[in-house]
Structure 1
Amino acid sequence: MRIDFHTHIIPSHFPNFEEKYGGGKWPVLEQTCTCGATILVGGKNFREVTDQVWDPKRRIQDMDREGVDIQVLSPIPVTFSYWADPQEALQMAKIQNDFIAETVAEYPERFVGLGTVPMQDGKTAIQEMERCMNELNLHGIEIGTNVNGKNLDDPCFIEFFEMAEKWDVPIFIHPWETLGRERMPRHNFMYTVGMPSETALAAATLIWSGIMEKFPNLKICFAHGGGSFPYILPRLDQGWEVWPHLRLTNHPPSFYAKKFFFDSLNYDPLNLKFMMERFGHEKIFMGSDYPFLLREIDPGKVIDDTDGLNSEQKEAMLGGNAAKFLNIEKKKRGAVYASTNTGE
């Protein structure tokens, strides 16, 4: 069973929020042909996309060709719209959450869904998270690494994390609005340097602030193999040791880092082995970033190419770990899950 934890989807048609509400930061999907479109932000080309990003039948064709049994569908981060009025952003979130839920319901054996919530308003975010999990039967929530420049340890997010732990909601943290982006206008460094650094900052913030100590059962997965976080963890530990006056936790950062989960999107077996040694293979699951240019082809390639893995480790990282993280077995969704549970 191969589960691709990290894929993105968007409805092919949704209202033009720029015309409806004003403001120049709403993403607008402008179809250029039956098999392609442009995502515009502020009237400028943000990203060219193909029908892979909205057509489930096209996705299933790719999945069959690349050996993927299940995709976990999550929104494209540009649609988070944390900058907007919370009620307007809620409408954007609901359109996407409903679309993802409908896609999963149409193909329950091939897809699992994650929702999005307006993190700029805690109560609204919690309400939509509850709807995603209880009414739409989604399996988790995707959020950004910061919200309008506020790190995830800001007091306004505490209740959200508290309820996510209480309701056993898996959280997928994806980098967006990266630090230092004003210094990365060329070379697409926002994607290759900024996003890994942004992810590291988010992970370090959740640990150093004491959130992971306060909510020890909070389930969090970081995109892109955790970015640069796994490699700076010893430096974070050293800072904790030499600055005792800054400590907010009873243990060094590496203690809490073992609570995190990560997708496998780091492209290199050496990096994967490093992460296995640091966190354990149980904390890693396959993720490809389908269908974008930086994605791994075929999904799971870095796991397949890593020498010395036993069958238990490989099967866990290719699908078993994601199934446990997302509570797929508990929800018993579809015949494919039933066959997995019986070992068929």
Structure 2
Amino acid sequence: MRVDFHTHIIPEEIPNFADKFGGGRWPVLEKTCSCGANIMVEGKVFREVTDQVWSPEKRIQDMDAEGVDIQVLSPIPVTFSYWAKADEAEEMSKVQNDFIADTVKQYPERFIGLGTVPLQDVNVSIKEMDRCIHVLGLKGIEIGTNINGKNLDDPEFITFFEMAEKWEVPLFIHPWETLGRERMPRHNFMYTVGMPSETALAAASLINSGIMEKFPRLKVCFAHGGGSFPYILPRLDRGWHVWPDLRLTSKPPSHYAKNFYFDSLNYDPLNIKYLVDRFGYEKIVMGSDYPFLLREIPPGKVVDETIKLTDKQKHSILGQNALDFLNVTIKEEIK
């Protein structure tokens, strides 16, 4: 079984919140043809997309062609809208969460859904997380690596993580609004350099702040193989040892990093082997970033090409680990 943990979706008929609430930062889907559209932000093309990004039928065609049994659907990070008023962002979240839940209900053997919540207001976020999990039947929540420039270790988010652990809600952490983006206008460095660095900062924040020590049963998975985090972990450990006055945890960062999950989207078998050696094969989930340009085609290619993995390890990474992370039990015979 192949489960693509990292895919993105948006409703074809998403409301125009820019018209409804005002402000140019709302993402607006402008159709260019029956099978294509532009995601517009502040009057500019943020991303060109095809019907792959909204059509479950098109997605299933691609899944069948590429050997994927199940996709895990999550919102596109530009729709997080953390900058907006909480009640307006809550409406944006509900539109997407309802759409993802409906898509899963329509094709329950092919899709699993993750929701989104307006983290600029933790109380509203907890309420929507409750609805996502306990009413809509979604299996986790996707959140950004920062909320309006606040790292995930900001004290105001503690209650959110507490409830995610209490309700056993898996969290998928995806980079957005990357650090240093003002220095990355050329070469699309925001995607290739900024996002991996942003992800590392988010992971380090959760560890060094003591959040992962405080909530040891919290399930967290990082996009893009954890970005640069796995490779700077020894440096984080060194900092913990040489600056004891800054310690907020009883053990070095590498101890808590063993609880993290990472998707496999790092393109290189050497990197997959490194993740497996450092964190264990049980903590790696296959993810492609479907349907965007940087995605892996076919999904799981890098895992297939990592020749030092055993058949059992590949089987787990390609599917079972994602199901375990999401607390989902599915029989192998899907098709």
1:181 aligns with 2:192: no
- 1:4 corresponds in structure 2 to 4
How far 1:182 moved relative to its partner? Answer: 0.2
- 2:308 corresponds in structure 1 to 308
| Counterpart AA for 1:57 | E
- C-alpha deviations, 1:183-213, integer Å up to 9, x for none? 0001000000000000000000000000000
User: 1:1-344 counterparts in 2 under 5 A?
Assistant: 1-329=1-329, 337=330, 339-340=331-332
Q: 1: distance between equivalents of 2:334 and 2:27? A: 43
How far 1:308 moved relative to its partner? Answer: 2.0
Preserved CA contact (<8 Å) 2:109 2:334: no
Q: 2: distance between equivalents of 1:302 and 1:47? A: 26
SS at match of 1:115: coil
Change in CA separation of 1:165 and 1:11 when aligned onto 2, cut-off 3 Å: same
Q: 1: distance between equivalents of 2:247 and 2:24? A: 41
Q: 1: distance between equivalents of 2:314 and 2:15? A: 43
Q: 1: distance between equivalents of 2:65 and 2:237? A: 44
Preserved CA contact (<8 Å) 2:69 2:334: no
Change in CA separation of 1:214 and 1:101 when aligned onto 2, cut-off 3 Å: same
Off by >3 Å, runs of 4+ in structure 1: none
How far 1:343 moved relative to its partner? Answer: 11
Preserved CA contact (<8 Å) 2:273 2:308: no
SS at match of 2:118: coil
Q: 2: distance between equivalents of 1:37 and 1:318? A: 31
- C-alpha deviations, 1:260-298, integer Å up to 9, x for none? 000000000000001111100000010000000000000
| Counterpart AA for 2:316 | A
Unaligned runs of at least 5 residues, structure 1: 330-336
- 1:332 corresponds in structure 2 to none
SS at match of 1:314: helix
| Counterpart AA for 1:49 | V
Compute the RMSD of aligned alpha carbons: 1.1
With normalisation by structure 1, the TM-score equals 0.96
Q: 2: distance between equivalents of 1:163 and 1:187? A: 40
Change in CA separation of 1:343 and 1:309 when aligned onto 2, cut-off 3 Å: farther
| Counterpart AA for 1:297 | I
SS at match of 2:5: strand
SS at match of 1:29: strand
| Counterpart AA for 1:177 | E
- C-alpha deviations, 1:158-199, integer Å up to 9, x for none? 000000000000000000000000000010000000000000
Q: 2: distance between equivalents of 1:311 and 1:343? A: 20
Q: 1: distance between equivalents of 2:311 and 2:270? A: 19
- Residue identity over aligned pairs, in percent, reads 74
SS at match of 1:157: helix
Number of residue equivalences: 335
- C-alpha deviations, 1:29-78, integer Å up to 9, x for none? 00000000000000111000000000000000000000000000000000
With normalisation by structure 2, the TM-score equals 0.99
SS at match of 2:40: strand
How far 1:310 moved relative to its partner? Answer: 1.2
